[in-house]
Amino acid sequence: MIKKLRNFILLNLIFCVFSGTSFAKTARGIMEMVDANSRERNESVFSLLKISTCKYGIKDQKVKCSQAPTIKTIESVAINTGPSGKDNQSIAFILEPPAERGVGMLVYTYDEIGKDNETWLYLSALGKVKRIVSSNSDADAEPVAIFGSEFTNEDQETGKLNDYDFKLLKETNYKSSRVAIIEQTPKPNIAIKSRYSKSLLWVDLAKEIVVKAKMYDKRGTEIRRLLVGKIEKLNDIWLARSTTILNLNAKRLSNMILVSINFGMEINSDLLSKRSLTDKAFRKKHLDDIRAQTE
């Protein structure tokens, strides 16, 4: 009897160990698919975006702007780089409002562990390029708002899966889709530099895209929330036409609308450089070449 009990306990321990390992790998595997899908969305693309930002309130149980939003129209170009195609370079410029036309941001994202992403911001009114410290490179650095919106460089970073631990909490239904809710926790070397202690991600299992996220501060309080809508399949890739981020502390939100996106563009890598931020003629030439491909 004792021998049978020991065998039973041993079998259960083995089951728990392997079940736990499988569980963890499943969470990591799901995030690898999300990351691969994200890279496809950024491979040689030319996009037109509109970002609306406002103070918000709750009315009729719905989140609504409590004041007129500021709206910015932005052109963005992105390519994947690196030996494995897991690095990314992107550049974006404000088209409207006219007072901010020419303000630009250049971002280099690296998949390599320990290699910080690089961001440069050009303010046309000052005529200067400013190097922005990566959100994960300086414990005292604040995440940088993207063109004055609630989207930040930390929220927009993709890849670097090895900087995080993932745990699959459960599978459930969300807006008629089957989703996995995954807890993403920064590893110690990242945790000391990030404002988030963890994030909960709702991943659409069929579309391999994050459709909702909750981000928590060091005290375990939810401080930001991401909501995705109008998901479409273009060029055999699932993507969101609308993405909203809520700053729960400041009661501000930003909504990013993907007005248009063009895949498979011929993009000269020279455009993805600091020269493009400051040299208007150089920038215009390369952007005109890309725009002509959409006509």
Using CA atoms, how far apart are residues 27 and 184, in angstroms rounded to an integer?
A: 9
Whether the CB-CB separation of 43 and 37 falls below 8 Å is answered with no
Whether the CB-CB separation of 103 and 293 falls below 8 Å is answered with no
Q: Which pLDDT score, from 0 to 100, does residue 158 have?
A: 60
User: Checking phi first, is residue 219 left (phi over 0); if not, alpha (psi -120 to 50) or beta?
Assistant: alpha
Q: Which pLDDT score, from 0 to 100, does residue 71 have?
A: 97
Report the predicted TM-score, pTM, of the whole model to 2 decimal places.
0.83
> Which runs of E-coded beta strand occur in 66-187?
70-81, 87-96, 104-109, 118-123, 128-132, 164-174, 177-186
Q: Which pLDDT score, from 0 to 100, does residue 110 have?
A: 87
Q: Which pLDDT score, from 0 to 100, does residue 197 have?
A: 92
Among 156, 154, 107, 81, which Cα is nearest to 276's?
107
* SS3 (DSSP) at 110: coil
What Rg do the C-alpha atoms of the chain give, in angstroms?
Answer: 21
Q: Which pLDDT score, from 0 to 100, does residue 24 have?
A: 42
Please give the chain's pLDDT, 295 residues, in tens.
544 444 444 444 333 433 333 344 589 999 999 988 888 888 899 999 999 999 999 888 888 999 999 999 999 999 999 877 888 999 999 999 999 999 999 999 888 877 888 889 998 777 888 887 655 444 444 567 788 899 887 776 666 788 899 999 999 999 989 999 999 999 888 888 788 999 999 999 999 999 999 999 999 999 999 999 899 998 888 999 999 999 999 999 999 999 999 999 999 999 999 999 999 999 999 999 999 999 8
* Burial (Cβ within 10 Å: 0-12, 13-18, ≥19) of residue 191: middle
Q: Which pLDDT score, from 0 to 100, does residue 36 have?
A: 87
Q: Which pLDDT score, from 0 to 100, does residue 19 have?
A: 39
